[in-house]
Copies of this chain bind each other. A is one copy, B any other.
C-alpha cells in the first residue's frame, strides 16, 4: 500500500496509526480510527483496512467529512470516525481506472484503497471515483443493558498492555458512586489513573479513548484476571442495587 501511495502521490506524507488491530476485528479498528482522527490535521486522508469481506459484494467507499477523507471498505470500519467528523458526501468506488490492474480478489487495500487515497491526496475530487450514495454500513458499540440499578456491559477488546476495554462510556454510568466488577470479580470504583492504586492492583478507569477499562497497574489485566473479549463488566451503585 505504501508503495502504491509513494508511486502515485509522491508528495504525500504517510503516517502509520497502527498495525496492531487483531485480524478481522472491524469494531476495534473503527474505535481506534475514531479516536485518532481528531488529532490529525484537517484534510488528512485516512485509509483503513480491516477487510474480512474483501472480494464479496461489500462496497468500497470514499467518505468526505469535515475532518478529511476516509477511504476503505463499507463494513463499518470508517463509520464511527466519519459520523463523528460529520459526513458531507459518500462516494462508492467503482471507476476501475483508479485501481491497480489487475485487481487481486483478496487485497483491496493495495489495489483499490491505496490508489484511491493517493488520488485524493493528489487532488482528485471524490466524485471522480464513482456514484454518490446516501448510506453506509454503520457499526455500533454493543449497547449496555440496564439491570435494575446496575448497568451491564462487556469487554470489547484487550489492548497491547492487557487492559480490558469495555463498551461503557461515562454517559452510561449509574448516577452516584458505583463499583465495577468483571465476571463477578469486584474491582472497586473507578480511579483517575493507574498511579492511584498500588502496583499489581486491579483498577477500573476511563481510558484515554473515553471507554471504561479494567487495568492492573504495572501488569496485564488480561493475564491476571484471565478475562477477555466478551467478559461481563457490571457497574453496581454503591448503596446496593
A residues with a Cβ closer than 8 A to B are 1-4, 6-7, 10, 13-17, 23-24, 36-41, 44, 52-58, 100, 104-107, 110-111, 160-162, 192-196, 205, 207-208, 217-220
Pick from B105, B162, B196: contact of A205, CB under 8 Å = B105
Please report the C-alpha to C-alpha distance between residue A197 and residue B183 in the assembled complex, in whole angstroms. Answer: 35
| B193 engages A54 (CB within 8 Å) | yes
Instruction: Evaluate whether A3 and B40 lie within 8 angstroms (CB atoms) in the complex, with A192-B55, A193-B54 already known.
Output: yes
**Sample of 22 A–B contacts (CB below 8 Å):** A1-B39, A3-B15, A3-B17, A3-B39, A4-B39, A6-B13, A6-B44, A7-B40, A16-B16, A54-B193, A54-B194, A54-B195, A55-B194, A55-B196, A56-B193, A56-B195, A57-B195, A58-B195, A106-B205, A106-B208, A107-B208, A110-B208
| B218 engages A24 (CB within 8 Å) | yes
Within the complex, the shortest CB–CB distance from A56 to chain B, in Å, comes to 3
Within the complex, the shortest CB–CB distance from A164 to chain B, in Å, comes to 14
Shortest Cβ distance from A39 into B: residue: B3
| A195 engages B3 (CB within 8 Å) | no
| B194 engages A40 (CB within 8 Å) | no
| B6 engages A40 (CB within 8 Å) | yes
Please report the C-alpha to C-alpha distance between residue A111 and residue B193 in the assembled complex, in whole angstroms. Answer: 14
| B residues in contact with A105, CB < 8 Å | 192-193, 205, 208
The majority secondary structure among interface residues of chain A is: loop
Within the complex, the shortest CB–CB distance from A171 to chain B, in Å, comes to 16
Please report the C-alpha to C-alpha distance between residue A47 and residue B37 in the assembled complex, in whole angstroms. Answer: 21
Shortest Cβ distance from A109 into B: residue: B208
| B7 engages A39 (CB within 8 Å) | yes
Please report the C-alpha to C-alpha distance between residue A127 and residue B139 in the assembled complex, in whole angstroms. Answer: 46
Shortest Cβ distance from A205 into B: residue: B106
| B residues in contact with A10, CB < 8 Å | 41
| B residues in contact with A192, CB < 8 Å | 55, 105
Pick from B23, B40, B56, B111: contact of A220, CB under 8 Å = B23
